[in-house]
Structure 1
């Protein structure tokens, strides 16, 4: 959870005010009309019961045959992995030494979200595990996503839990109330007693920052402890680390001690282009029944995903949501209109997922900047103009107001969510330097989502628009 220095963190979660039930509605519901099983009739006008509706929906001809293929996190067969031949070969070559009961090198996989980093790591490790089992080598893959882990102690406990689950044993220390060293000791105990070789897969590692009063981020300390585990005399198991990050500059924040012990092999994952995304979707189109996908579904879904950093997860999600929308509407096929509707829904859902966890101050910074971008021809926003709108918002709502430098820093922090990016600009000696922000999603989608926060919803959207237009006219 982000905590701002102003201490103003109220209103982060959208409030949902339930509408009161009209008095005349009570006449439509008799106490004996819905039994404990929910199979009674809702009213006496002949409408279907819940059970009847469920059975009717269940009997409808579905369009999706295998929903697992439309899950971006599902480990697909090797022939479905496309556009990543070079990276697949590199990761395979470096991790294959585990087949000889040797320690593989540490790896650092970096590149934009949805470019196959986690998919390839999981696929390679799963194949290694299968071969090692045949050779009586106890190989384990301990994977954790660091996005929701806020301290080093929690991260170590999570690794211990995952290792224990993989080995079919129990963790012997509590999650809270003990020193982190005790958690490390139990993690090493589980690994040493149950495995010959373990690969720790640390996904989105750069998100594990930890306490802000620590000079070294938590992910650096985690890397140091894991990669120096070979120096522990009573630890016989081989331990390797695969660090995965969207942040290409993550290694710059790793401390010198950790960097010295980690010394990874780097594997870069670049964006998928539209053709590669089409190939990925075509390898998964058998998730649908034959003949239900119209010809324009895959090219359109790939084109939408290519616009936002070539994200394969988004492309797969778009096709899944399009199919689900078509099913709910009772259509016999999935067409272009379903993909366009899915695009709007997926964009909003993604933005909502991001903004739910950020502070009110960050929401205000983001809202002000998106409001500016929504009014410009190229969809960008200058930091100087965004700050003027931010000041209007904070004055209107009555919350603490950051200085411009802090506003800029908060916007920079939001780049870690792949929601916004920036470039340093200047329009001549008289205008000075400023940052120009660009959005990965449509600014109007971001605005609509942020307005679900009750405090932001208090501010008139028309007033904000007027302020934005006035500030844009003042730009030099």
Structure 2
């Protein structure tokens, strides 16, 4: 059976081009000319064996921050090699790093991989100072210049009892290393974050030594997303994409903050669905099926790991947003639905402040965002939640939880309708 499938030509010619994490050639990077020029201009000084400035790249997820950094560093590395300059790029995603010590050890491991050497200290059982020393040893012995790319840096918070987050202490140590003569190699840091206010949480000492150049990345619009996908359409064999596939995938991605990763992923999943179904072309229906699958998979991945109370808060709020014209939900209305929901399944019920705090925590998963609103002196202040995915998809996914499934969806819908009527 495997050999039979292997002999089939399929629809996809080059799967790397529809891998959102694949670093493509510069001519495939679309809609980011200004940012590409800025990052190139500032990092290119490494070509003259000088230290590039520190950078802070910020903006929504999937807007090209990591892609451009990696593409520029890849080109610099290639040219430096021809000039006998030992240039290295040490890339770490901080999303799953929970302490400063683990973060430093991960940097040492990535630096060792880049230099093709071994890390000589253990991950556990040694002080963080020893890990720093090992990182600097690897850099000094193997590089003339190195750029540390710290993706999703704001996620490295560390222990809550510390006065400043772990990412602040990491930035301080890295940016001070050269000044303290711990490094003979040139070191610069590219900090990447979806949080535009991350630098406000950086301590004063770290801020004064880090002093980055800022580069802002805004959302892609539908036209830019179409251009991105057209530059990758040669991932498929010729004439297998229907004309409406790329515009539809771009339109879906534009609805959720202009995320290019999502647009590329949609086209990949649509192609794979068409292949599995034995179709000769990728059509609009495959894109729509891919949209449902990608959304549900992403939401399922997030909600699978959150607490029961967060699920209840999220379900109640999504139920409200699903019935509003603009897909938003007031915190006051969401809390009333949450009260009904907890009563109906006999779950613990928290105060409105706790409900709001749990919904605020959902912003770290990019499921929701919120703004503080007021609809006149009589209504008071409230938070208005907006969803990054379709509320209907979130509801459908959460109903896979047996406890939430107990609550009849039509009853919840009736409560939402009544509460929305009370808003007006």
Shorter-chain TM-score above 0.5: yes
**Correspondent of 1:309 among 257, 260, 264:** 257
TM-score, normalised to structure 1, is 0.86
The one of 74, 77, 100 equivalent to 1:126 is 74
Correspondence for 2:132: 184
2:340 matched to which residue of 1? 392
Aligned counterpart in structure 1 of residue 398 of structure 2, from 428, 450, 472: 450
Aligned pairs, number: 424
Counterpart secondary structure, 1:140: strand
Task: For 2:131 and 2:58, locate their aligned partners in 1 and report how far apart those are by CA, in whole Å.
Answer: 28
Determine the C-alpha separation between the residues in 1 that align with 2:20 and 2:138.
30
| Pair 1:162-2:93 in alignment | no
Matched, 1:195 2:143: yes
Distance 1:453 1:146 in 2: 30
| 1:282 CA drift (Å) | 0.6
What displacement does 1:399 show?
4.4
What's the CA shift for 1:357? 3.4
Aligned partners of 1:396 and 1:137: how far apart in 2? 67
Residue 458 of structure 1 deviates from its aligned partner by: 3.8
Query: Which residue in the other structure is 1:205 paired with?
Result: 153
- 1:232 corresponds in structure 2 to 180
SS at match of 1:169: coil
Match of 2:316 among 363, 368, 377: 368
2:219 is equivalent to residue 276 of structure 1: no
* Pair 1:148-2:104 in alignment: no
Per-residue deviation, 1:391: 2.5
Residues in 2 aligned to 1:233 and 1:395: alpha-carbon distance in whole angstroms: 63
Q: 2:10 is paired with a residue of what secondary structure?
A: coil
**Distance in 1 (alpha carbons) for counterparts of 2:182 and 2:216:** 35
Aligned residue runs from structure 1 range 64-463, under 5 A: 64-463=12-411
Q: Give me the whole-angstrom Cα distance separating, in 1, the residues matched to 2:374 and 2:10.
A: 55
Shift of 1:414: 1.8
Residues of 2 paired with 1:134 and 1:101: CA distance?
A: 13
Are residues 81 and 408 of structure 1, via their aligned partners in 2, closer, same or farther at CA, if it must alter by over 3 Å?
A: same
TM-aligned CA deviation for residue 381 of structure 1: 0.8
Unmatched 5+ stretches in structure 1: 1-52
Shift in Å at residue 234 of structure 1? 4.0
Structure 2 residues without counterparts, runs of 5 or longer: none
CA shift digits 1:422-448 (9 cap, x unpaired) = 222222222111111111211010111
Tell me how far apart the structure 2 counterparts of residues 222 and 422 of structure 1 sit (CA, whole Å). Answer: 29
The whole-number CA distance in structure 2 between the counterparts of 1:124 and 1:400 is: 52
The secondary structure found in structure 2 opposite 1:294 is coil
Deviation at 1:398, TM superposition (A): 4.6
Question: 1:397: how far off?
Answer: 4.4
Deviation at 1:73, TM superposition (A): 0.9
1:110-168 Cα deviation digits (max 9, x unpaired): 01111110000000000111111111111110001111111111111111111111111
3-state SS of paired residue (1:231) = coil
Structure-2 change in CA distance of 1:390 and 1:213 (3 Å): farther
Does the 8 Å contact 1:247/1:416 carry over to 2?
A: no
Shift of 1:417: 2.8
Question: What do you get for the CA RMSD once the two structures are aligned?
Answer: 1.5
Partner Cα separation in structure 2 for residue 379 and residue 310 of structure 1 = 17
Specify whether residues 210 and 57 from structure 1 end up closer, same or farther in structure 2 by C-alpha distance, changes over 3 A only. same
**CA–CA distance in structure 2, aligned partners of residues 286 and 84 of structure 1:** 21
Distance in 2, Cα, partners of 1:148 & 1:455: 29
User: 2: distance between equivalents of 1:190 and 1:131?
Assistant: 22
Cα deviation for residue 250 of structure 1 reads 0.7
Distance in 2, matches of 1:239 and 1:113, equals: 26
Q: Which one is further off, 159-168 or 393-402? A: 393-402
Structure 1 CA distance for aligned equivalents of residues 132 and 339 of structure 2: 47
* Matched position secondary structure for 2:178: helix
